[in-house]
Amino acid sequence: MRKTYTIFTLLVLVALALAACGTAAPAPSGGDTVTVVETVVVEVTSSAPVVVAPTGYGVTLKAVQERGKLVCGVNSQVPGFGYVDANGNFAGIDVDYCRALAAAIFGDASKVEFRPVTAAERFTALQSGEIDILSRNTTWSLVRDTELGGNFVHTTFYDGQGMMVPKDSGFTTLKDLDGGTICVQTGTTTELNLADVMAAEGVSYTPAVFEDADSTFAAYAEGRCDAVTTDKSGLVSRRSVLPDPAAHVIMDVTMSKEPLGPMVRHGDDQWFDIAQWTVFTLFSGEEFGLTSANVDDMRASATAPEVRRLLGLEGDLGLKLGLTNDWAYNIIKLVGNYEEIYNRNLGPDTPTYIPRGYNSLYTDGGLLYAPPFR
């Protein structure tokens, strides 16, 4: 009897093992918990011979269109850039970029699913195809461009790492912080820059390292640290919501360059182009004075050839990207131009006001410069 019982055990275990593999297999008609999403990785469609399919050109767009939704990895904890408002909607400049991309692809800015990703898992999520694009205040750097298997789209926000201290401390330079404690968030370039800069300046300090932005600034607000460091935009937006914003100053030092922008996977140049030119459309929209309010009138009356090309009245720029010809019109109409997005999230009327600085058009002395639409 015991023997048959062991065989029974065996069968259960085998069945279990099989069930475990079964979980990974495609479940044709969803409806139960096991939702298996077909992803878009560079490999082999079944018809193609196994040998090199050098790029996955066009794979991502096709998958996104079939799915009917863009999946966008965002932050959920940085006011002004990516956060969840009380109605449960995502908001922020990085979030609006995703909406613009969805508008370009579908002509519907709501066909985007936001997936909050942590700093730690963001690159894995992109590599594994869980998200189509990463728009989560990510700094463009060489390692991320190569080893982490991504391509950075044009920068959407120029930033630099700064340091915030309480006003009454009287600190003005990094040297003043000698022997002090500095709050910093882990898993970021910020953490590395801090160590680099302080070592170069010969300043000894104690870091207090936190897992997320909220804890970092909560600790600083309670006086746990003498200073807190992150991107200046983050400092500004976070300072505005400290209990007494006027009691904190941002030091006049820039510890690093932080070009923040969306990131896509290696290997699909078409997708890269779409993401890239969506950014340029936002810039150009502001440059040409196209806003969501006036774009319909402009479409009816525009005479400047580049505006006409942008709006799809002349030529077939949209088709060249694999989209419809009114893609740029949809972006401006449904989401707005760069200025509108900026003002909505970081403008003077928001609690997270940041002066535009480098993030102005080149005509205003900033760095935003879109290549010609032709």
Partner 1 sequence: MQRDAQPQQTTIPFWRDERALKVLGQIIFVIIVLIIGALIFHNMRVGLAKQGITLSYSFFKNVSGFDIAETAFPYDRNSTYWQAFLIGLVNTVTVGSVGIVFSTILGVILGVARLSTNFIINRLAAFYLELIRNLSLLVFLIFWYLGVFLKLPRVQNAVIWPGDIILTNRGVGIPWGIPTASFPTFRLILLFGLILALIVFFALRAYSQRTGRAPLTLLWSILTLIVVGALGWLLLPEKPLIFDLPFVKGLNLSGGKILTPEFMALTSGLVLYTAAFIGEVVRAGIQSVSKGQSEAARALGLNGFQTLRLIVFPQALRVIIPPLTSQYLNLVKNSSLAIAVGYPDVFYVSNTIQNQTGRAVEMISLVMLTYLSISLLTSVLMNWYNQRIKLVER
Partner 2 sequence: MANLDTMMPPVTERSNILRWARKNLFGSWTDSLLTVVGALIAYWAMRGFLNWALNVAEWEVISANMRLLMIGQYPIEHAGRLWLWLGFLVFLAGNSIGIWARGSRYAFLLLLAPAALALAPFGSEPKRWLVALTLTGLVGWGLGRGKPEVLKRSVIAGWVVSLPIIVILTHGLSSSETGFMPVVRTTLWGGLLLTFLLTVVGILFSFPMGVALALGRRSELSVIRWFSVGYIELVRGVPLITILFMAQLMLPLFLPDGWTLDRVLRAMVGITLFSAAYLAENVRGGLQAIPKGQYEAAEALGLNGVQTMIFIILPQALRLIIPILVGQFIGVFKDTSLVAIVGLLDLLGIGKTVLAQPQFLGLQREVYAFISLIFWVLSYGMSYLSQQLEVRLGVGKR
Q: Which residues sit at the interface with partner 2, rule CB under 8 A?
A: 1-10, 12-13, 16, 23-26, 30-39, 41, 43, 76-79, 83-86, 88-89, 113-118, 120-121, 124, 128-130, 211-214, 217-218, 221, 238, 240-243, 351-352
In the complex with partner 2, the residue whose CB is nearer, 307 or 346, is: 346
Query: Does residue 55 touch partner 1 according to CB under 8 A?
Result: no
CB of 56 to partner 1, least distance (A): 11
Inter-CA distances, 370 with 155, 252, 360, 361, Å: 11, 30, 12, 9
Inter-CA distances, 235 with 120, 160, 176, 363, 373, Å: 21, 10, 19, 27, 35
CB of 278 to partner 2, least distance (A): 22
Query: Does residue 116 touch partner 1 according to CB under 8 A?
Result: no
Q: At what angle do helices 232-239 and 213-221 cross, to 10 degrees?
A: 60
In the complex with partner 2, the residue whose CB is nearer, 30 or 289, is: 30
Distance, CA of 154 to CA of 156 (rounded, Å) = 6
In the complex with partner 1, the residue whose CB is nearer, 101 or 213, is: 213
Written as one letter, the residue type at 11 is L
Which of these, 124, 175, 174, lies nearest to 150 by C-alpha position?
124
Asked if 160 contacts 257 with a C-beta cutoff of 8 angstroms, the reply is yes
Radius of gyration of the chain (CA): 24
Q: Which of partner 1, partner 2, none sits in contact with 53, Cβ below 5 to 8 A by type?
A: none
Distance, CA of 61 to CA of 268 (rounded, Å) = 9
CB of 124 to partner 2, least distance (A): 6
Inter-CA distances, 194 with 185, 215, 357, Å: 11, 18, 23
Inter-CA distances, 171 with 6, 217, 240, 253, 350, Å: 73, 18, 20, 12, 28
Q: Which of partner 1, partner 2, none sits in contact with 207, Cβ below 5 to 8 A by type?
A: partner 1
One of 62, 67, 69, 224 touching partner 1 (CB under 8 A)? 224
Query: Does residue 53 touch partner 1 according to CB under 8 A?
Result: no
Residue located via tokens 């996955």: 56
CB of 78 to partner 1, least distance (A): 17
In the complex with partner 2, the residue whose CB is nearer, 23 or 173, is: 23
CB of 348 to partner 2, least distance (A): 15
Q: Which of partner 1, partner 2, none sits in contact with 37, Cβ below 5 to 8 A by type?
A: partner 2
Interface residues with partner 1 (CB under 8 A) are: 3-4, 6-7, 10, 13-14, 17-18, 20-21, 41-42, 119-120, 123-124, 127-128, 147-149, 169, 179-181, 186-188, 191-192, 194-196, 198-199, 205-211, 215, 218-219, 222-224, 226
